[in-house]
Amino acid sequence: MAQLLDGRVYSEEALQEIKVQVQELKNQGVTPGLAVILVGEDPASQTYVRNKGKACEKTGIYSRTIILPAQTTQAELEKLIRELNDDKQIDGILVQLPLPDGLDEARALACIRPEKDADGFHAVNAGNLMLGQPGTLPCTPKGVIRMLKLAGVEMDGKHAVVVGRSNIVGKPAALLLLRENATVTIAHSHTKDLGDITRQADILVVAAGKPGLITGDMVKPGAAVVDVGINRINGRLSGDVDFTSVDPVAGWLSPVPGGVGLMTVAMLMDNVVALARARAEKKA
């Protein structure tokens, strides 16, 4: 049986630390603030936004959720983002993705000032990650690395395989694993014989959005398997990893739900605190 990479425990630990840091900032007269913009009524997005608000409450971060109708125009959305860019109460701005059809995500994200980019999706922050410069990191890959570190999984010199190459999970996860001195392979939908590649992984991060894609026969015995996938099947959440067949083979395994999703929210809080700290340092 694999050791559980328990997002509940690790995220709770992270949130408690963040709560202390928020209080320290408040003592210096700086209250960290997050603005979350939700456009439309996608039920999964509504849940994510609610969870982010709850984490703000728990840590003492000021949060403002702005809900816009699905018919919102690009110009209206960008005007709102620009107002938040200039809003002194707000350190981090997050536009909940996906946006409804007709709205341009890339253009909306580009409107967020990089110093207020809570999600780390702005091209400047993506570029900083690529170059190994300081900047805001995307929350999910950051949460994956935090989880592996807290579990004591060695990354240096290990072979890490990332399944998925999206800008928000796969690519940044690969870059962060590289930063930890892992040897990194990225697999995607054109990869031939996925199992051949995943069986070589000491660390396997799966972010494909395909339920049950990874089965026990595709995993190296003792590997650390991190399941990023969130799939809704008949109202129930499941990951990209077939937990039942992988559990007896892997050394570590993250569950869905109760895994990376919780780390993602905790790392968002971490990002907002870092942005607020930068404001406090400017003020000093």
SS (H, E, C) the chain: CCEECCHHHHHHHHHHHHHHHHHHHHHCCCCCEEEEEEECCCHHHHHHHHHHHHHHHHHCCEEEEEEECCCCCHHHHHHHHHHHHCCCCCCEEEECCCCCCCCCHHHHHHHCCHHHECCCCCHHHHHHHHHCCCCCCCHHHHHHHHHHHHCCCCCCCCEEEEECCCCCCHHHHHHHHHHCCCEEEEECCCCCCHHHHHCCCCEEEECCCCCCCECHHHCCCCCEEEECCCEEECCEEECCECHHHHCCCCCEECCCCCCHHHHHHHHHHHHHHHHHHHHHHHHC
Catalytic residue at 119? yes
Nearest-approach distance from CB 189 to ligand NDP, in angstroms: 3
Kindly name the residue from 21, 91, 96, 117 that is annotated as catalytic: 96
Nearest-approach distance from CB 57 to ligand NDP, in angstroms: 19
Nearer to ligand NDP by Cβ, of 29 and 43: the residue is: 43
Kindly name the residue from 91, 116, 117, 119 that is annotated as catalytic: 119
Nearer to ligand NDP by Cβ, of 114 and 209: the residue is: 209
Contact 50, 21 (CB under 8 A): no
Nearest-approach distance from CB 280 to ligand NDP, in angstroms: 28
Nearest residue to ligand NDP on Cβ basis: 166
Residues of the shown chain interacting with ligand NDP in the complex, contacts defined by CB under 6 A = 140, 163-166, 168-170, 187-191, 194, 207-210, 213, 228-231, 260-261, 264
Catalytic residue at 282? no
Nearest-approach distance from CB 79 to ligand NDP, in angstroms: 27
Catalytic residue at 96? yes
Nearest-approach distance from CB 89 to ligand NDP, in angstroms: 26
Kindly name the residue from 52, 116, 142, 171 that is annotated as catalytic: 52
Nearer to ligand NDP by Cβ, of 258 and 279: the residue is: 258
Nearer to ligand NDP by Cβ, of 25 and 253: the residue is: 253
Nearer to ligand NDP by Cβ, of 179 and 210: the residue is: 210
Give me the active site residues, please: 52, 96, 119
